[in-house]
Structure 1
Amino acid sequence: MRMVFGLVLIVGLGLAGFAVYMAKSYIQGYQQELANERAQRAPAIETVEVYVADKPLKYGEVLRKDSVRLTAFPRTSLPEGIYETYEALFPEGEDEPRTVLRSMEKNEAVLAVKVTGPGEDAGLTSQLERGMRAFAIKVDVSSGVSGFLRPGDRVDVYWTGRVNGDNTRTEGNSQGDVTKLIETAVKLIAVDQVANGDTTGAIIARTVTVAVKPQQVAALAQAQTTGRLSLSLVGAEDDTVAEAIEVDQRSLLGLTQVPVAQAEAPAPVCTIKTRRGSETIVSQIPCTN
Protein backbone atom coordinates (compact mmCIF):
# COMPACT_ATOMS: atom_id res chain seq x y z
CA MET A 1 0.00 0.00 0.00
CA ARG A 2 2.86 2.30 0.86
CA MET A 3 4.56 1.43 -2.38
CA VAL A 4 1.46 2.34 -4.37
CA PHE A 5 1.15 5.64 -2.52
CA GLY A 6 4.79 6.47 -3.16
CA LEU A 7 4.46 5.60 -6.83
CA VAL A 8 1.41 7.82 -7.21
CA LEU A 9 3.25 10.69 -5.46
CA ILE A 10 6.24 10.41 -7.73
CA VAL A 11 4.05 10.35 -10.84
CA GLY A 12 2.12 13.38 -9.56
CA LEU A 13 5.28 15.36 -8.90
CA GLY A 14 6.58 14.48 -12.35
CA LEU A 15 3.39 15.62 -14.03
CA ALA A 16 3.37 18.85 -12.01
CA GLY A 17 6.99 19.58 -12.91
CA PHE A 18 6.29 18.89 -16.57
CA ALA A 19 3.28 21.22 -16.46
CA VAL A 20 5.37 24.01 -14.89
CA TYR A 21 8.09 23.52 -17.50
CA MET A 22 5.58 23.69 -20.35
CA ALA A 23 3.93 26.81 -18.90
CA LYS A 24 7.27 28.53 -18.45
CA SER A 25 8.33 27.72 -21.99
CA TYR A 26 5.03 29.01 -23.34
CA ILE A 27 5.28 32.29 -21.40
CA GLN A 28 8.89 32.87 -22.43
CA GLY A 29 8.05 32.20 -26.05
CA TYR A 30 5.09 34.59 -25.88
CA GLN A 31 7.21 37.33 -24.33
CA GLN A 32 9.91 36.89 -26.96
CA GLU A 33 7.41 37.13 -29.78
CA LEU A 34 5.84 40.21 -28.19
CA ALA A 35 9.25 41.88 -27.87
CA ASN A 36 10.08 41.11 -31.50
CA GLU A 37 6.77 42.55 -32.67
CA ARG A 38 7.28 45.74 -30.67
CA ALA A 39 10.80 46.14 -32.01
CA GLN A 40 9.55 45.85 -35.59
CA ARG A 41 6.51 48.06 -35.02
CA ALA A 42 8.29 51.00 -33.28
CA PRO A 43 12.00 51.34 -34.09
CA ALA A 44 14.08 53.05 -31.43
CA ILE A 45 14.55 56.84 -31.94
CA GLU A 46 17.63 58.41 -30.43
CA THR A 47 16.70 61.48 -28.41
CA VAL A 48 18.50 64.37 -26.75
CA GLU A 49 17.23 66.42 -23.83
CA VAL A 50 16.93 70.11 -24.75
CA TYR A 51 15.37 73.11 -23.06
CA VAL A 52 11.89 74.13 -24.23
CA ALA A 53 9.47 76.83 -23.13
CA ASP A 54 7.36 75.69 -20.20
CA LYS A 55 4.74 78.37 -20.96
CA PRO A 56 3.99 80.90 -23.72
CA LEU A 57 6.74 83.54 -23.82
CA LYS A 58 6.33 87.00 -25.38
CA TYR A 59 8.77 89.56 -26.73
CA GLY A 60 10.66 91.39 -23.98
CA GLU A 61 9.83 88.83 -21.29
CA VAL A 62 12.70 87.79 -19.01
CA LEU A 63 13.72 84.14 -19.44
CA ARG A 64 14.21 82.46 -16.06
CA LYS A 65 14.71 78.94 -14.76
CA ASP A 66 11.00 78.43 -14.14
CA SER A 67 10.20 79.51 -17.72
CA VAL A 68 11.86 76.45 -19.28
CA ARG A 69 12.20 72.72 -18.79
CA LEU A 70 14.14 69.80 -20.27
CA THR A 71 12.40 67.43 -22.65
CA ALA A 72 13.44 64.66 -25.05
CA PHE A 73 13.88 65.76 -28.65
CA PRO A 74 14.77 63.55 -31.67
CA ARG A 75 18.48 63.93 -32.39
CA THR A 76 17.98 63.85 -36.16
CA SER A 77 15.50 66.76 -35.97
CA LEU A 78 17.46 69.12 -33.74
CA PRO A 79 17.33 72.75 -34.94
CA GLU A 80 20.38 74.99 -34.76
CA GLY A 81 20.98 77.00 -31.61
CA ILE A 82 19.39 74.66 -29.03
CA TYR A 83 20.44 74.53 -25.37
CA GLU A 84 21.13 71.13 -23.80
CA THR A 85 22.45 72.18 -20.38
CA TYR A 86 21.56 74.73 -17.73
CA GLU A 87 25.09 76.14 -17.90
CA ALA A 88 24.74 76.82 -21.64
CA LEU A 89 21.38 78.56 -21.26
CA PHE A 90 22.28 80.47 -18.09
CA PRO A 91 26.10 80.74 -17.98
CA GLU A 92 25.88 83.45 -15.32
CA GLY A 93 22.98 81.88 -13.43
CA GLU A 94 19.83 83.76 -12.42
CA ASP A 95 21.82 86.96 -11.87
CA GLU A 96 22.05 87.62 -15.63
CA PRO A 97 19.00 86.04 -17.33
CA ARG A 98 18.24 86.23 -21.02
CA THR A 99 15.41 88.21 -22.65
CA VAL A 100 12.96 86.88 -25.25
CA LEU A 101 13.39 88.40 -28.74
CA ARG A 102 10.70 86.35 -30.52
CA SER A 103 7.50 84.87 -29.14
CA MET A 104 7.57 81.18 -28.24
CA GLU A 105 4.72 78.78 -27.56
CA LYS A 106 4.68 76.16 -24.84
CA ASN A 107 6.92 73.13 -25.60
CA GLU A 108 8.76 75.10 -28.32
CA ALA A 109 12.55 74.68 -28.28
CA VAL A 110 14.50 77.66 -26.96
CA LEU A 111 16.84 78.80 -29.76
CA ALA A 112 19.73 81.24 -29.70
CA VAL A 113 18.08 83.49 -32.32
CA LYS A 114 15.00 83.88 -30.11
CA VAL A 115 16.75 85.09 -26.96
CA THR A 116 19.39 87.70 -26.13
CA GLY A 117 22.76 87.08 -24.60
CA PRO A 118 23.04 86.68 -20.82
CA GLY A 119 22.17 89.93 -19.05
CA GLU A 120 21.11 91.76 -22.25
CA ASP A 121 17.76 93.40 -22.81
CA ALA A 122 15.66 93.30 -25.98
CA GLY A 123 16.93 96.66 -27.28
CA LEU A 124 18.36 97.43 -30.72
CA THR A 125 21.94 96.69 -29.68
CA SER A 126 21.07 93.00 -29.31
CA GLN A 127 19.92 92.92 -32.96
CA LEU A 128 23.03 94.52 -34.48
CA GLU A 129 25.56 92.09 -35.89
CA ARG A 130 29.29 92.73 -35.70
CA GLY A 131 30.30 95.74 -37.81
CA MET A 132 26.72 96.97 -38.31
CA ARG A 133 25.20 100.27 -37.22
CA ALA A 134 21.63 101.50 -36.65
CA PHE A 135 20.39 104.40 -38.79
CA ALA A 136 16.95 106.06 -38.73
CA ILE A 137 15.15 107.01 -41.96
CA LYS A 138 12.23 109.44 -42.01
CA VAL A 139 9.15 108.02 -43.73
CA ASP A 140 5.45 108.75 -44.17
CA VAL A 141 2.49 106.79 -45.50
CA SER A 142 3.67 106.84 -49.12
CA SER A 143 7.43 106.40 -48.59
CA GLY A 144 6.89 103.80 -45.83
CA VAL A 145 4.85 101.32 -47.92
CA SER A 146 1.52 102.36 -46.35
CA GLY A 147 2.42 101.08 -42.88
CA PHE A 148 3.06 97.45 -43.90
CA LEU A 149 6.68 97.48 -42.74
CA ARG A 150 7.63 95.33 -39.76
CA PRO A 151 10.93 94.73 -37.93
CA GLY A 152 12.83 91.99 -39.74
CA ASP A 153 11.63 93.00 -43.23
CA ARG A 154 14.09 93.94 -45.98
CA VAL A 155 13.66 97.03 -48.16
CA ASP A 156 15.27 98.75 -51.14
CA VAL A 157 16.05 102.44 -50.59
CA TYR A 158 15.46 104.97 -53.41
CA TRP A 159 16.68 108.59 -53.47
CA THR A 160 14.78 111.35 -55.27
CA GLY A 161 16.43 114.73 -55.71
CA ARG A 162 17.67 117.30 -58.19
CA VAL A 163 20.90 117.01 -60.13
CA ASN A 164 22.32 120.35 -61.24
CA GLY A 165 22.53 120.86 -64.98
CA ASP A 166 25.76 122.89 -65.00
CA ASN A 167 28.09 120.35 -66.62
CA THR A 168 26.90 117.76 -64.07
CA ARG A 169 25.83 114.29 -65.15
CA THR A 170 25.07 111.15 -63.18
CA GLU A 171 26.24 107.71 -64.23
CA GLY A 172 23.07 107.32 -66.29
CA ASN A 173 23.58 110.75 -67.94
CA SER A 174 20.53 112.04 -66.04
CA GLN A 175 19.82 115.60 -65.04
CA GLY A 176 17.10 117.58 -63.29
CA ASP A 177 14.81 115.60 -60.93
CA VAL A 178 16.26 112.08 -60.58
CA THR A 179 15.20 108.92 -58.71
CA LYS A 180 17.93 106.36 -58.08
CA LEU A 181 18.26 103.06 -56.23
CA ILE A 182 21.02 103.59 -53.65
CA GLU A 183 20.73 100.60 -51.26
CA THR A 184 19.27 97.12 -51.71
CA ALA A 185 17.83 94.55 -49.27
CA VAL A 186 18.46 96.63 -46.16
CA LYS A 187 17.18 94.99 -42.96
CA LEU A 188 14.70 96.83 -40.75
CA ILE A 189 15.34 96.39 -37.03
CA ALA A 190 12.69 98.80 -35.72
CA VAL A 191 9.60 100.69 -36.89
CA ASP A 192 9.17 103.83 -34.80
CA GLN A 193 9.93 102.53 -31.29
CA VAL A 194 8.74 98.99 -32.04
CA ALA A 195 11.49 96.35 -32.42
CA ASN A 196 9.22 93.30 -32.01
CA GLY A 197 9.24 91.23 -35.21
CA ASP A 198 6.03 89.46 -34.13
CA THR A 199 3.96 92.61 -34.72
CA THR A 200 1.01 91.81 -37.00
CA GLY A 201 -0.88 95.11 -37.30
CA ALA A 202 0.00 97.91 -39.70
CA ILE A 203 2.11 100.72 -38.23
CA ILE A 204 1.93 104.18 -39.81
CA ALA A 205 5.50 105.05 -38.93
CA ARG A 206 7.37 108.32 -38.96
CA THR A 207 10.80 106.68 -38.82
CA VAL A 208 12.25 103.26 -39.51
CA THR A 209 15.60 102.05 -38.23
CA VAL A 210 17.85 99.98 -40.47
CA ALA A 211 21.02 97.97 -39.82
CA VAL A 212 23.77 99.05 -42.22
CA LYS A 213 27.56 99.37 -42.40
CA PRO A 214 29.27 102.65 -41.48
CA GLN A 215 29.88 103.55 -45.15
CA GLN A 216 26.18 103.04 -45.86
CA VAL A 217 25.32 105.28 -42.89
CA ALA A 218 27.26 108.13 -44.50
CA ALA A 219 25.60 107.53 -47.88
CA LEU A 220 22.09 107.44 -46.38
CA ALA A 221 22.73 110.55 -44.28
CA GLN A 222 23.90 112.47 -47.35
CA ALA A 223 20.95 111.20 -49.40
CA GLN A 224 18.43 112.13 -46.69
CA THR A 225 19.90 115.64 -46.46
CA THR A 226 19.94 116.34 -50.20
CA GLY A 227 16.70 114.66 -51.25
CA ARG A 228 13.83 112.38 -50.27
CA LEU A 229 14.13 108.68 -49.44
CA SER A 230 11.48 106.09 -50.34
CA LEU A 231 11.33 102.44 -49.35
CA SER A 232 10.29 99.44 -51.44
CA LEU A 233 9.46 96.19 -49.62
CA VAL A 234 11.44 93.10 -50.69
CA GLY A 235 9.71 89.69 -50.72
CA ALA A 236 10.45 87.28 -47.88
CA GLU A 237 12.00 84.66 -50.18
CA ASP A 238 13.36 87.03 -52.82
CA ASP A 239 17.12 86.48 -53.16
CA THR A 240 17.59 88.32 -56.46
CA VAL A 241 20.08 91.18 -56.72
CA ALA A 242 18.54 94.45 -57.90
CA GLU A 243 20.29 96.06 -60.85
CA ALA A 244 21.37 99.70 -60.97
CA ILE A 245 18.23 101.82 -61.45
CA GLU A 246 18.20 105.51 -62.32
CA VAL A 247 15.27 107.44 -63.80
CA ASP A 248 14.93 111.13 -64.65
CA GLN A 249 12.05 113.02 -66.27
CA ARG A 250 13.52 112.72 -69.75
CA SER A 251 13.89 108.91 -69.57
CA LEU A 252 10.53 108.54 -67.78
CA LEU A 253 8.67 110.24 -70.65
CA GLY A 254 10.77 108.57 -73.32
CA LEU A 255 12.18 111.85 -74.59
CA THR A 256 15.39 111.87 -76.63
CA GLN A 257 17.88 114.67 -76.52
CA VAL A 258 18.24 116.30 -79.96
CA PRO A 259 21.77 117.57 -80.50
CA VAL A 260 22.01 121.25 -81.42
CA ALA A 261 23.58 121.84 -84.83
CA GLN A 262 26.83 123.68 -84.50
CA ALA A 263 27.31 126.64 -86.86
CA GLU A 264 30.34 126.26 -89.07
CA ALA A 265 33.11 128.64 -88.21
CA PRO A 266 33.84 131.18 -91.01
CA ALA A 267 36.93 130.61 -93.06
CA PRO A 268 39.83 132.77 -91.93
CA VAL A 269 40.64 135.83 -94.05
CA CYS A 270 44.23 136.96 -94.45
CA THR A 271 45.11 140.44 -95.66
CA ILE A 272 48.15 142.60 -96.32
CA LYS A 273 48.42 146.37 -96.08
CA THR A 274 50.33 148.39 -98.67
CA ARG A 275 51.05 152.11 -98.23
CA ARG A 276 51.16 154.28 -101.30
CA GLY A 277 51.99 157.78 -100.28
CA SER A 278 49.36 158.88 -97.84
CA GLU A 279 46.97 156.08 -98.91
CA THR A 280 46.86 152.61 -97.29
CA ILE A 281 45.59 149.75 -99.50
CA VAL A 282 44.34 146.48 -97.90
CA SER A 283 44.69 143.44 -100.14
CA GLN A 284 43.41 139.87 -99.46
CA ILE A 285 45.93 137.08 -99.84
CA PRO A 286 45.83 133.28 -99.27
CA CYS A 287 46.42 132.20 -95.69
CA THR A 288 49.60 130.22 -95.19
CA ASN A 289 48.83 128.73 -91.76
Structure 2
Amino acid sequence: MRVVFGLVLIVGLALAGAAVYMFKEYQDNMQRALMQEQAKKAPAIATTPVFIATRALAYGEVLTPEDVQQVDWPRTALPEGIFSEEAALFPDDNDAPRYVRRAMEKGEAILEVKVTEPGTEAGLTSRLTRGMRAFAISVDVATGVSGFLRPGDRVDVYWTGRVDGMRGDFTKLIESGVELIAIDQSANSDLSETTIAQTVTVAINPQQVATLAQAQSTGRLSLSLVGLYDDTVAEAIEVDQRSLLGIPLAEETAPVQQAPAPEDRVCTIRNRRGSEVVEIPIPCTD
Protein backbone atom coordinates (compact mmCIF):
# COMPACT_ATOMS: atom_id res chain seq x y z
CA MET A 1 0.00 0.00 0.00
CA ARG A 2 2.80 2.35 0.87
CA VAL A 3 4.54 1.50 -2.38
CA VAL A 4 1.43 2.37 -4.38
CA PHE A 5 1.02 5.64 -2.51
CA GLY A 6 4.63 6.54 -3.19
CA LEU A 7 4.27 5.77 -6.88
CA VAL A 8 1.13 7.92 -7.12
CA LEU A 9 2.90 10.80 -5.36
CA ILE A 10 5.89 10.60 -7.69
CA VAL A 11 3.67 10.48 -10.78
CA GLY A 12 1.66 13.46 -9.50
CA LEU A 13 4.75 15.52 -8.87
CA ALA A 14 6.08 14.69 -12.33
CA LEU A 15 2.82 15.71 -13.96
CA ALA A 16 2.73 18.95 -11.95
CA GLY A 17 6.31 19.79 -12.92
CA ALA A 18 5.59 19.09 -16.57
CA ALA A 19 2.53 21.31 -16.41
CA VAL A 20 4.55 24.17 -14.87
CA TYR A 21 7.29 23.78 -17.48
CA MET A 22 4.79 23.76 -20.33
CA PHE A 23 3.03 26.83 -18.93
CA LYS A 24 6.33 28.72 -18.59
CA GLU A 25 7.34 27.74 -22.11
CA TYR A 26 3.98 28.96 -23.35
CA GLN A 27 4.44 32.31 -21.59
CA ASP A 28 7.95 32.75 -23.02
CA ASN A 29 6.72 32.04 -26.53
CA MET A 30 3.90 34.54 -26.13
CA GLN A 31 6.33 37.18 -24.81
CA ARG A 32 8.71 36.65 -27.72
CA ALA A 33 5.87 36.84 -30.21
CA LEU A 34 4.61 40.07 -28.63
CA MET A 35 8.08 41.65 -28.72
CA GLN A 36 8.53 40.68 -32.35
CA GLU A 37 5.18 42.21 -33.22
CA GLN A 38 6.06 45.44 -31.42
CA ALA A 39 9.43 45.55 -33.16
CA LYS A 40 7.68 45.29 -36.53
CA LYS A 41 5.38 48.18 -35.68
CA ALA A 42 8.11 50.47 -34.24
CA PRO A 43 9.82 52.60 -36.94
CA ALA A 44 13.53 51.95 -37.43
CA ILE A 45 15.64 55.02 -36.49
CA ALA A 46 19.00 55.36 -38.20
CA THR A 47 21.72 56.47 -35.79
CA THR A 48 25.33 57.64 -35.91
CA PRO A 49 27.91 57.27 -33.12
CA VAL A 50 28.64 60.66 -31.54
CA PHE A 51 30.97 61.66 -28.71
CA ILE A 52 29.38 63.59 -25.84
CA ALA A 53 30.75 65.12 -22.63
CA THR A 54 30.62 62.97 -19.51
CA ARG A 55 30.87 66.04 -17.24
CA ALA A 56 30.62 69.82 -17.37
CA LEU A 57 33.62 71.24 -19.25
CA ALA A 58 34.84 74.80 -18.68
CA TYR A 59 36.66 77.16 -21.01
CA GLY A 60 40.39 76.44 -21.33
CA GLU A 61 40.32 72.85 -19.98
CA VAL A 62 42.27 70.08 -21.69
CA LEU A 63 39.93 67.57 -23.37
CA THR A 64 40.85 63.98 -22.46
CA PRO A 65 39.35 60.59 -23.46
CA GLU A 66 37.97 60.26 -19.91
CA ASP A 67 35.83 63.38 -20.51
CA VAL A 68 33.83 61.88 -23.38
CA GLN A 69 31.79 58.82 -24.26
CA GLN A 70 30.25 57.53 -27.47
CA VAL A 71 26.48 57.28 -27.87
CA ASP A 72 24.07 56.62 -30.73
CA TRP A 73 22.57 59.86 -32.06
CA PRO A 74 19.61 60.03 -34.50
CA ARG A 75 20.90 60.95 -37.95
CA THR A 76 17.97 63.27 -38.57
CA ALA A 77 19.06 65.46 -35.62
CA LEU A 78 22.84 65.46 -36.04
CA PRO A 79 24.44 68.81 -35.14
CA GLU A 80 27.07 70.19 -37.50
CA GLY A 81 30.70 69.39 -36.70
CA ILE A 82 30.27 66.21 -34.59
CA PHE A 83 33.00 63.66 -33.91
CA SER A 84 32.05 60.03 -34.62
CA GLU A 85 35.52 58.44 -34.45
CA GLU A 86 37.95 58.54 -31.55
CA ALA A 87 40.91 58.86 -33.93
CA ALA A 88 39.47 62.11 -35.26
CA LEU A 89 38.81 63.58 -31.81
CA PHE A 90 42.09 62.39 -30.26
CA PRO A 91 44.62 61.94 -33.08
CA ASP A 92 47.99 60.33 -32.34
CA ASP A 93 46.79 59.07 -28.94
CA ASN A 94 46.16 62.67 -27.83
CA ASP A 95 49.84 63.64 -27.99
CA ALA A 96 48.70 67.13 -29.04
CA PRO A 97 45.55 67.63 -26.92
CA ARG A 98 42.56 69.74 -27.76
CA TYR A 99 41.32 72.52 -25.45
CA VAL A 100 37.77 73.58 -24.63
CA ARG A 101 37.00 77.02 -26.05
CA ARG A 102 33.26 77.01 -25.32
CA ALA A 103 31.81 75.69 -22.06
CA MET A 104 29.78 72.47 -22.36
CA GLU A 105 27.32 70.72 -20.05
CA LYS A 106 27.20 66.99 -19.27
CA GLY A 107 25.62 65.07 -22.16
CA GLU A 108 26.32 67.82 -24.71
CA ALA A 109 27.78 66.78 -28.07
CA ILE A 110 31.45 67.59 -28.68
CA LEU A 111 31.52 69.90 -31.73
CA GLU A 112 34.40 71.27 -33.77
CA VAL A 113 33.49 74.88 -32.90
CA LYS A 114 33.66 74.09 -29.16
CA VAL A 115 37.18 72.68 -29.08
CA THR A 116 40.48 73.80 -30.54
CA GLU A 117 42.59 72.10 -33.15
CA PRO A 118 45.01 69.47 -31.75
CA GLY A 119 47.89 71.19 -29.97
CA THR A 120 46.28 74.67 -30.08
CA GLU A 121 45.42 76.34 -26.77
CA ALA A 122 42.15 78.17 -26.20
CA GLY A 123 43.46 81.67 -27.00
CA LEU A 124 42.92 84.27 -29.68
CA THR A 125 44.68 82.27 -32.38
CA SER A 126 42.14 79.46 -32.04
CA ARG A 127 39.33 81.92 -32.81
CA LEU A 128 40.88 83.38 -35.94
CA THR A 129 39.84 81.75 -39.20
CA ARG A 130 42.01 81.72 -42.31
CA GLY A 131 42.79 85.24 -43.58
CA MET A 132 41.54 87.02 -40.46
CA ARG A 133 43.51 89.20 -38.05
CA ALA A 134 42.99 90.34 -34.45
CA PHE A 135 42.71 94.10 -33.89
CA ALA A 136 42.19 95.88 -30.54
CA ILE A 137 39.85 98.86 -30.16
CA SER A 138 39.95 101.18 -27.15
CA VAL A 139 36.52 101.64 -25.54
CA ASP A 140 34.95 102.99 -22.38
CA VAL A 141 31.55 102.78 -20.70
CA ALA A 142 30.00 105.02 -23.40
CA THR A 143 31.62 103.60 -26.53
CA GLY A 144 31.64 99.98 -25.34
CA VAL A 145 27.87 99.47 -24.85
CA SER A 146 28.10 99.80 -21.05
CA GLY A 147 29.91 96.50 -20.50
CA PHE A 148 27.30 94.26 -22.16
CA LEU A 149 29.73 92.97 -24.80
CA ARG A 150 30.84 89.33 -24.81
CA PRO A 151 33.28 87.40 -27.01
CA GLY A 152 31.29 86.05 -29.93
CA ASP A 153 29.02 89.12 -30.20
CA ARG A 154 28.85 91.19 -33.40
CA VAL A 155 29.06 94.98 -33.46
CA ASP A 156 28.82 97.89 -35.88
CA VAL A 157 31.73 100.35 -35.69
CA TYR A 158 31.12 104.12 -36.02
CA TRP A 159 33.78 106.80 -36.49
CA THR A 160 33.37 110.35 -35.15
CA GLY A 161 35.80 113.13 -35.97
CA ARG A 162 36.42 116.33 -37.95
CA VAL A 163 36.71 116.50 -41.70
CA ASP A 164 38.66 119.22 -43.52
CA GLY A 165 36.37 121.82 -45.03
CA MET A 166 33.45 120.99 -42.74
CA ARG A 167 32.31 122.65 -39.56
CA GLY A 168 31.70 120.49 -36.48
CA ASP A 169 32.10 116.73 -35.98
CA PHE A 170 31.11 114.09 -38.51
CA THR A 171 29.94 110.50 -37.75
CA LYS A 172 29.98 107.60 -40.20
CA LEU A 173 29.42 103.83 -40.08
CA ILE A 174 32.73 102.33 -41.24
CA GLU A 175 32.36 98.60 -40.42
CA SER A 176 29.26 96.44 -39.97
CA GLY A 177 28.77 93.09 -38.19
CA VAL A 178 32.34 92.75 -36.87
CA GLU A 179 32.88 89.75 -34.56
CA LEU A 180 34.35 90.26 -31.08
CA ILE A 181 36.85 87.57 -30.07
CA ALA A 182 38.10 88.97 -26.74
CA ILE A 183 37.18 91.48 -24.03
CA ASP A 184 40.26 92.96 -22.38
CA GLN A 185 42.48 89.88 -21.87
CA SER A 186 39.68 87.29 -21.85
CA ALA A 187 38.49 85.25 -24.85
CA ASN A 188 35.96 83.33 -22.73
CA SER A 189 32.46 83.76 -24.16
CA ASP A 190 30.84 82.52 -20.93
CA LEU A 191 31.49 85.57 -18.76
CA SER A 192 28.96 85.62 -15.94
CA GLU A 193 29.21 89.27 -14.88
CA THR A 194 29.17 92.68 -16.52
CA THR A 195 32.63 94.11 -17.11
CA ILE A 196 33.47 97.66 -18.18
CA ALA A 197 36.13 96.89 -20.75
CA GLN A 198 38.99 99.13 -21.75
CA THR A 199 39.72 97.28 -24.99
CA VAL A 200 37.86 94.87 -27.22
CA THR A 201 39.50 92.69 -29.86
CA VAL A 202 37.80 92.04 -33.18
CA ALA A 203 38.45 89.54 -36.00
CA ILE A 204 38.81 91.36 -39.33
CA ASN A 205 40.69 91.09 -42.60
CA PRO A 206 43.86 93.12 -43.31
CA GLN A 207 41.99 95.79 -45.29
CA GLN A 208 39.64 96.35 -42.35
CA VAL A 209 42.66 96.53 -40.03
CA ALA A 210 44.01 99.45 -42.07
CA THR A 211 40.59 101.14 -42.04
CA LEU A 212 40.13 100.85 -38.27
CA ALA A 213 43.73 101.84 -37.53
CA GLN A 214 43.33 105.03 -39.56
CA ALA A 215 39.94 105.74 -38.02
CA GLN A 216 41.19 105.20 -34.45
CA SER A 217 44.16 107.53 -34.96
CA THR A 218 42.08 110.36 -36.47
CA GLY A 219 38.89 110.23 -34.40
CA ARG A 220 36.84 108.30 -31.87
CA LEU A 221 35.33 104.84 -32.42
CA SER A 222 31.97 103.77 -30.97
CA LEU A 223 30.41 100.31 -30.98
CA SER A 224 26.79 99.34 -31.50
CA LEU A 225 25.73 95.81 -30.49
CA VAL A 226 24.03 93.73 -33.22
CA GLY A 227 21.19 91.38 -32.27
CA LEU A 228 21.89 87.65 -32.00
CA TYR A 229 19.61 86.69 -34.90
CA ASP A 230 19.91 89.92 -36.88
CA ASP A 231 21.15 89.10 -40.39
CA THR A 232 20.44 92.50 -41.95
CA VAL A 233 23.25 94.49 -43.57
CA ALA A 234 23.57 98.08 -42.38
CA GLU A 235 23.51 100.67 -45.15
CA ALA A 236 25.87 103.60 -45.50
CA ILE A 237 25.17 106.01 -42.63
CA GLU A 238 26.63 109.52 -42.38
CA VAL A 239 25.56 112.24 -39.92
CA ASP A 240 27.00 115.71 -39.30
CA GLN A 241 25.85 118.50 -37.00
CA ARG A 242 23.80 120.26 -39.69
CA SER A 243 21.83 117.12 -40.65
CA LEU A 244 21.45 116.24 -36.94
CA LEU A 245 19.90 119.62 -36.11
CA GLY A 246 18.13 120.07 -39.44
CA ILE A 247 20.10 123.17 -40.38
CA PRO A 248 20.21 123.76 -44.15
CA LEU A 249 23.48 124.47 -45.92
CA ALA A 250 24.81 128.08 -46.10
CA GLU A 251 24.07 128.43 -49.81
CA GLU A 252 20.47 127.45 -49.13
CA THR A 253 19.97 130.15 -46.48
CA ALA A 254 21.64 133.05 -48.34
CA PRO A 255 19.14 135.47 -49.97
CA VAL A 256 18.96 135.24 -53.71
CA GLN A 257 20.39 138.34 -55.37
CA GLN A 258 18.23 139.28 -58.33
CA ALA A 259 19.85 141.05 -61.23
CA PRO A 260 18.51 144.59 -61.77
CA ALA A 261 16.09 144.94 -64.62
CA PRO A 262 17.64 146.68 -67.61
CA GLU A 263 16.60 150.32 -67.98
CA ASP A 264 14.99 151.50 -71.19
CA ARG A 265 17.47 153.68 -73.07
CA VAL A 266 16.31 156.79 -74.87
CA CYS A 267 18.55 158.42 -77.47
CA THR A 268 17.90 162.07 -78.55
CA ILE A 269 19.31 164.86 -80.61
CA ARG A 270 19.15 168.50 -79.77
CA ASN A 271 18.08 171.25 -82.15
CA ARG A 272 18.22 174.95 -81.37
CA ARG A 273 15.37 177.08 -82.58
CA GLY A 274 16.28 180.59 -81.77
CA SER A 275 16.65 180.77 -78.03
CA GLU A 276 14.87 177.41 -77.51
CA VAL A 277 16.57 174.00 -77.46
CA VAL A 278 14.40 171.09 -78.61
CA GLU A 279 15.30 167.37 -77.92
CA ILE A 280 14.07 164.98 -80.58
CA PRO A 281 14.13 161.16 -79.76
CA ILE A 282 15.82 158.91 -82.32
CA PRO A 283 16.67 155.15 -82.43
CA CYS A 284 19.84 154.21 -80.50
CA THR A 285 22.56 153.01 -82.82
CA ASP A 286 24.83 151.04 -80.33
Range class of TM-score, shorter chain? 0.7 to 0.9
1:123-152 deviation per Cα after TM superposition (whole angstroms, max 9, x unaligned) = 101101111111000000000000000000
Deviation at 1:259, TM superposition (A): 5.3
Q: Which amino acid aligns with 1:183?
A: E
Q: Which residue of 2 aligns with 1:187?
A: 179
Q: Which residue of 1 aligns with 2:194?
A: 202
Q: Which residue of 1 aligns with 2:163?
A: 163
Distance in 2 (CA, whole Å) between partners of 1:72 and 1:142 is 49
1:220-247 deviation per Cα after TM superposition (whole angstroms, max 9, x unaligned) = 0000000000000000001111111111
- How many residues of Structure 1 are paired with residues of Structure 2 in the alignment? 247
1:180-223 deviation per Cα after TM superposition (whole angstroms, max 9, x unaligned) = 11100100000101101111311100000000110010000000
Q: Indicate which of 222, 228, 245 corresponds to 1:236.
A: 228
Normalised by the length of structure 2, the TM-score is: 0.77
Q: Which amino acid aligns with 1:89?
A: L
Structure 2: stretches of 5+ with no match in the other structure: 1-14, 263-284
Q: Which residue of 1 aligns with 2:85?
A: 85
Distance in 1 (CA, whole Å) between partners of 2:205 and 2:141 is 26
- Secondary structure of the 2:130 match is coil
Q: Which residue of 1 aligns with 2:146?
A: 146
Q: Which amino acid aligns with 1:125?
A: T
Relative distance call for 1:27 and 1:214 in structure 2 (3 A) is same
Distance in 2 (CA, whole Å) between partners of 1:58 and 1:183 is 32
Distance in 2 (CA, whole Å) between partners of 1:102 and 1:159 is 32
- Secondary structure of the 1:92 match is helix
Deviation at 1:24, TM superposition (A): 9.1
Matches within 5 A, 1:117-128: 117-128=117-128
Q: Which residue of 2 aligns with 1:216?
A: 208
1:62-86 deviation per Cα after TM superposition (whole angstroms, max 9, x unaligned) = 0112111222222222211111111
Q: Which residue of 2 aligns with 1:73?
A: 73
Q: Which amino acid aligns with 1:112?
A: E
Deviation at 1:32, TM superposition (A): 4.9
Q: Which amino acid aligns with 1:77?
A: A
Equivalent pairs: percent with the same residue?
63
- Secondary structure of the 2:150 match is coil
Q: Indicate which of 218, 221, 238 corresponds to 1:226.
A: 218
Are the equivalent residues in 2 in contact too, given 1:92–1:118 (CA < 8 A)? no
Distance in 2 (CA, whole Å) between partners of 1:29 and 1:74 is 32
- Secondary structure of the 1:96 match is coil
CA RMSD, 1 decimal: 2.9
Q: Indicate which of 148, 170, 179 corresponds to 1:178.
A: 170
Q: Which residue of 2 aligns with 1:246?
A: 238
